[in-house]
């Protein structure tokens, strides 16, 4: 039995030693005629507002639209100017008490969900707290999990009211 193991190990060693050790890496030569077209190799990333528009116009249910929007929210490239604009947009919608006025309006609600998420992810302090509660209310009312009159929505509004005067 030992001889058999020894012969097997020796065979493997010999076969490995006899293998082609002169493997060459492929060589790539640069020539003036060789160009790489980025659009062929890398899919262009859509702007967040284009993706949002596609979701709004889709035939999906509100919950499905929200889940589609989550990916856009996480991958969106947003400027500081956008964040500042979004802060004012959500604050105005809250102060005017219009932010939950039409839960079936996909465009209005999805825009508010998007904007409040972006604000929450890109600021600190009172704005972050305000945007978080705002986002929760809009998200759950839009998806039908809560109503504008529900206890959890009213509780979040109380929290928002506490910080609203601190917001600039």
Q: Is residue 26 part of a domain?
A: no
How many structural domains are present in the chain? 1
Contact of 120 with 131, CB cutoff 8 Å:
yes
The mean pLDDT of 18-28, rounded to a whole number, is 47
Count CB neighbours of 146 within 10 A. 21
Alpha-carbon distances of 129 from 3, 36, 73, 114, 125, rounded to whole Å = 75, 47, 18, 16, 6
Q: Is 106 a domain residue? A: yes
Domain that holds residue 72: 43-164
Radius of gyration of the chain (CA): 28
Residue 7 within a domain: no
- The pLDDT value recorded for residue 48 is 83
Q: How confident is the model at residue 47 (pLDDT cuts 50, 70, 90)?
A: confident
Which two structure tokens, joined as six digits, stand for 27? 């060589």
Task: With respect to residue 17, please indicate whether it lies within any of the assigned structural domains.
Answer: no
Q: Is residue 126 part of a domain?
A: yes
Can you say how many angstroms the Cα of residue 140 is from the centroid of all Cα atoms in its chain?
Answer: 18
- d(C-alpha 53, C-alpha 126), whole Å: 30
pTM check: above 0.75:
no
Distance from C-alpha of 131 to C-alpha of 39, rounded to nearest angstrom: 37
Confidence at residue 96, expressed as pLDDT on a 0 to 100 scale = 96
Q: On the CB side of 7, how many CA atoms lie within 13 Å of its CA?
A: 4
- Helix/strand number for the chain, H first, E second: 8, 0
On whether residue 29 sits in a domain, the answer given is no
Nearest to 156 by CA among 131, 128, 137, 140: 137
Q: What is the pLDDT of residues 65-121, one digit of tens each?
A: 999 888 888 888 899 999 999 999 999 999 999 999 999 999 999 999 999 999 999
Whether 145 maps to a domain, the answer reads yes
Segment 56-67 shows an average pLDDT of 91
> Which residues does 76 contact at the CB level (< 8 Å), separation at least 6?
48, 114, 118
Q: What is the pLDDT of residue 71?
A: 86
């Amino acid at each position: 039995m030992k001889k058999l193991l020894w012969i097997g190990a020796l065979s493997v060693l010999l076969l490995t030693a006899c293998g082609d050790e002169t493997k060459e890496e492929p060589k790539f030569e640069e020539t003036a005629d060789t160009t790489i077209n980025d659009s062929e190799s890398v899919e262009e990333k859509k702007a967040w507002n284009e993706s949002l528009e596609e979701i709004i116009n889709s035939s999906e249910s509100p919950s499905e639209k929200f889940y589609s929007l989550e990916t856009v929210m996480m991958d969106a490239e947003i400027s500081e100017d956008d964040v500042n604009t979004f802060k004012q947009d959500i604050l105005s919608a809250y102060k005017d008490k219009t932010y939950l006025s039409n839960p079936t309006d996909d465009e209005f609600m999805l825009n508010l969900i998007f904007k409040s998420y972006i604000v929450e992810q890109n600021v600190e302090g009172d704005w972050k707290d305000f945007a978080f509660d705002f986002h929760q209310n809009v998200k759950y009312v839009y998806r039908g999990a809560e109503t504008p009159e529900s206890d959890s929505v009213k509780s979040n509004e109380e929290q928002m009211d506490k910080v609203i005067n601190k917001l600039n």
